[in-house]
Chain A
């Protein structure tokens, strides 16, 4: 068996040559344009915040290009600033990113027959933006050929990552020029809230958010950022319990 065959999934329906199509790449890149208006400034905020926290430009850009997950980067960095141990910062960042396991499972359903050769780089480009836009596209066009489908995904994912990296770089270079009285640091919690707000829909999500937020205030004194992880666990439990309690009452 050739080495090429080893890189394919053993799906019997696997087409011979699945390659991201140029048409798909273009469509994906265009679809991502409105999102870039938010990704660029968010990158800027990260670059400025990381620089202010004491990271040198190489460290900031390495983090932004290797982790490529804004919320997790900011969360981990905030913990380092608060003098938490590095492993606690890693754990917290990973918990913030756990949602991507859900994205991964959801995209995989639409990717049957895509060879491993493309799945390995695809994982790097999986973020809130590429996931949301691609899934919407797959639902709207269930008959689109596989090569256009993965093209669309790589189109949204790559333009988003490039914008994110450029935004971070601008933040490293120009963040220092922002006068401190502008309170740019407040852009960090504001960005988190703006990211989470559209996801808070329905009673269960509200319960999860409120319980987690209040618990974080109550548990703030705990060492090593443990308060955050405990509060998040309580919030998740509240979100899962809410519909069950409502059903019992009904």
Chain B
């Protein structure tokens, strides 16, 4: 990646993110989101983040097919602990712990 690409991302993503944050606090102050838009926005994190993660844990990082089983298994354990405890730190600890333990077991 080039320096120009990195600075473009920093500047543009920074600006867009600020405008998204400022949207209803400032630009559209006093206005409300239409119902359908609020509903769709509510699903953005639960759709975007799994879509981002699935290929990272299912495919081998060096390319060429599926990953070793310890990657998807540790991902599922992170998800399970996170859903059960709703605790960010507990889920991260469990996920990395499972990753190291399962890898040591040769999975």
Contacts and interface: CB of A to CB of B under 8 A. Distances in A.
B26 A235 contact: no
A74 B56 CA distance: 12
A190 B74 contact: yes
Contacts, number: 279
Contacts of A77: 9
A48 interface: no
B105 interface: no
Contacts of B17: 67-69, 72, 93-94, 97, 100
Nearest to A114: B25
Given A217-B54, A235-B43, A63 B49 contact: no
A195 interface: yes
Given A66-B10, A94-B13, A208-B43, A83 B92 contact: no
Interface residues of A, number: 98
A89 to B, nearest CB: 5
Interface in B19-49: 20-26, 29-30, 32-33, 38-49
A70 to B, nearest CB: 11
B13 A123 contact: no
A216 B49 CA distance: 10
Nearest to A225: B52
B50 interface: yes
Interface residues of A: mostly helix, strand, loop or mixed?
Answer: helix
Interface string B72-104: 001100111111001111011001100110010
A162 interface: no
B57 to A, nearest CB: 5
B56 to A, nearest CB: 4
A110 B95 CA distance: 37
Given A187-B92, A193-B82, A101 B41 contact: yes
A75 B56 CA distance: 11
A234 B18 CA distance: 26
B80 to A, nearest CB: 8
A1 interface: no
Given A105-B33, A187-B92, A197-B91, A98 B46 contact: no
B9 A189 contact: no
Contact of A97 (B20, B52, B96): B20
Interface stretch (A22-30, A54-62, A137-145, A167-175): A54-62
A76 B24 CA distance: 24
B16 A90 contact: yes
Contact of A80 (B1, B11, B21, B33): B1
Interface of A: 9, 11, 35, 37-38, 41-42, 53-55, 59, 62-63, 66-69, 71-73, 75-78, 80-81, 83, 85-87, 89-90, 93-105, 107-108, 111-112, 116, 119-120, 122-124, 126, 182-183, 185-200, 204-205, 208-217, 220, 227-228, 231-236, 238-240
Given A80-B5, A95-B48, A189-B56, 5 more contacts: A80-B1, A105-B33, A124-B21, A209-B46, A231-B47
